[in-house]
A and B are shown apart, each in its own frame.
Chain A
Amino acid sequence: MTNLLQVNSLSKTYGTHRAAHDITFELAEGTSTALIGPNGAGKTTTLSMLAGLVTPTSGSILFRGQPKPDIRASIGYLPQYPKFFPWMSALEFTEMAAILSGVEKRQALIEAKKTLEFVGLGDAMKKRVGTFSGGMKQRLGLAQAIVHEPELLLLDEPVSALDPVGRRQVMNLLKELQQKTTILYSTHILNDAEEMTDQLLFLRKGILVENGSLDDIRKKYANPRILIDFESNEEAEKFKELSPWTAEREKKQVAIDAVKEGVGTPEVLALLNAENLTIRKVELQTASLEDIFMKVVMEE
């Protein structure tokens, strides 16, 4: 797989505020990458620089290995809150977007119609955007970003502002798009990231603090623990004393750090059987993406 985009120590400083600092990553062609971080972490700044809206203070962006002065022709960009001219119809806007992105005039109308059908605005394409609901605007935003079939799709919080139904619909559209194009999107909703991501980029205060595939990051931060729930406090305490491993007791629950103690569930179960302790539940707990998020992004 070739690299579509290569970002080298990209930085943006506003006065003394470092919105993005020394950000380096690559996007392989055909992959989906999630940019994750709390509000104010620099997600929007990073995407704006890639979209050509904001000029980086330093650093370079290579497109297919080449520095490209204007990558705007090759990208589709959906801002967090896309704003449209309320007096325009969805079709007029999408057609204009296509032409401005270099699609030939006659083809632009055909592509605009096709794209609006794809995002589910087929019935509303002649309506003025001023009458659209939030979900419809978001879908129109997606339509204008993909109408010229860009090589790279940049989406800033594509589903955060939507209700659960709208979110599901847009997620399904994105999954379909994922088959055709390279996607970089920011989000702070981790379920979404989990659903359609090959690569995760964690940003904190403008710095890229973690970068890797979902599996790699899972493995690194999984921190598996064996949790045993007992019938009573006494049994839990008894187990803790018997156990050859360091264990922590919280009322009826005992926890063992699986990696540190080098122990698996079979050994624990064997011990439980041997001592004839009544248990309610034995569980191997790994960190959820949310735990990882808190650990990677929030810790000082």
Chain B
Amino acid sequence: MSSFNVLLKKEWRENLRTYKLYWIPLVFIIFGVIEPLTNYYLPEIMKSIGNLPEGAEFTWPQFQGEDIFVSLMGQYQMIGILIVILAFMGTISGERKNGTATLLYVRPMSFSHYFLSKWIVINTIVLGSVWLGFFASWYYIRILYNSVAAGEVFAFLGTYSLWLVFAVTVILAFSAWISTGGTAGISILLLLVFQIIDGLIGTYWTVSPWKLSAYAPSAFTGSVDQSDYWLSVGLTVALIILLVLFGIRMSKQNAAKTLV
């Protein structure tokens, strides 16, 4: 276990000292703060600087606090996921390419420890950042909008977190398999483009990891088919486990590709 601990510590230190542990939460918190504020003040902002024609009247949509959570999730789904991809696409492939992995691979180290230490630390950072972002948003939602029940918020965050773990696992597994550039491309395809595809023609199926972000808001409305929801959750968990196993295998198989 001490070799696993030392790898965990290494990953944590790396993210601390390369400042990812600071800037990633900061970005998510900034989005979390901006979302309720801009939505609340948008009518006034438009009135003062919007250059609207004289006498124009707009009916601004009346947002509820719940809507702000969902629209913040929409921001995270595109910009947030992109940031996560860019920050972690080289986690394993980069170590191989610059040769820093070599001095780890020549030790009697378990590749599952190697992969899982990264998986745990990155998930901690991503989930922590997203949760902090939502909490920051929640603070302003309470002040500016209505108070949202904590149980609903946590159910919403729970579902969305599973999708995030899936996203991190995809990035990491491909980073173990192919180059950093390839990882970026495939992750963008799988995590961003598929989202759009699922949004456009996704009415034909109801069970997929990409549906999780659509199902998460049902925590507020309770309007989703429970069996579809749980099947999607089950499928996502199964895919995460398979991707982790695949990632461990690929880390080991590609160990020889490290720069010597």
Contacts and interface: CB of A to CB of B under 8 A. Distances in A.
Interface of A: 44, 48, 51-55, 70, 72-73, 75, 77, 79-85, 87-88, 92, 95-97, 99-102, 104-105, 141, 144, 156
A206 B99 CA distance: 23
B200 interface: no
Contacts of B109: 72, 100
B108 A72 contact: yes
Nearest to A49: B256
15 contacts: A53-B105, A53-B256, A72-B108, A73-B108, A79-B99, A79-B103, A82-B103, A87-B18, A99-B3, A99-B6, A100-B3, A100-B108, A101-B107, A105-B2, A141-B103
A72 B3 CA distance: 14
B1 to A, nearest CB: 10
B146 to A, nearest CB: 45
A54 B99 CA distance: 14
A290 B38 CA distance: 76
A83 B102 contact: yes
Contacts of B108: 70, 72-73, 100-102
Nearest to A84: B100
Interface string B1-29: 01100110110011001100000000000
Interface in B98-119: 98-100, 102-109
B212 to A, nearest CB: 35
B260 interface: yes
Contacts of A141: 103
Given A88-B13, A100-B3, A48 B260 contact: yes
A85 B100 contact: yes
Contacts, number: 80
B32 to A, nearest CB: 28
Nearest to A73: B108
B206 interface: no
Nearest to A154: B106
Nearest to B100: A83
A210 to B, nearest CB: 25
Nearest to B18: A87
B258 interface: yes
Nearest to A82: B103
Interface string B83-104: 0000000000000001110111
B143 to A, nearest CB: 40
A87 B9 CA distance: 13
Interface residues of B, number: 26
Nearest to A106: B2
A109 B108 CA distance: 18
Nearest to A71: B108
B121 interface: no
A55 B105 CA distance: 13
Nearest to B104: A100
Given A72-B109, A100-B107, 18 more contacts: A53-B106, A55-B256, A72-B106, A79-B99, A79-B103, A80-B260, A83-B103, A83-B259, A88-B10, A88-B13, A97-B103, A97-B107, A99-B3, A100-B6, A100-B7, A100-B104, A100-B109, A102-B108
Contact of B260 (A70, A84, A105, A156): A156
B255 interface: yes
Given A54-B256, A87-B14, A92-B13, A72 B107 contact: yes
Contacts of B256: 48, 53-55
A141 B103 CA distance: 9
B9 to A, nearest CB: 8
A52 B106 contact: yes
Contacts of A97: 103, 107
A98 B233 CA distance: 41
A235 to B, nearest CB: 58
B258 A53 contact: yes
Nearest to B6: A99
B216 to A, nearest CB: 36
Contacts of B260: 44, 48, 53, 79-81, 156
A100 B10 CA distance: 11
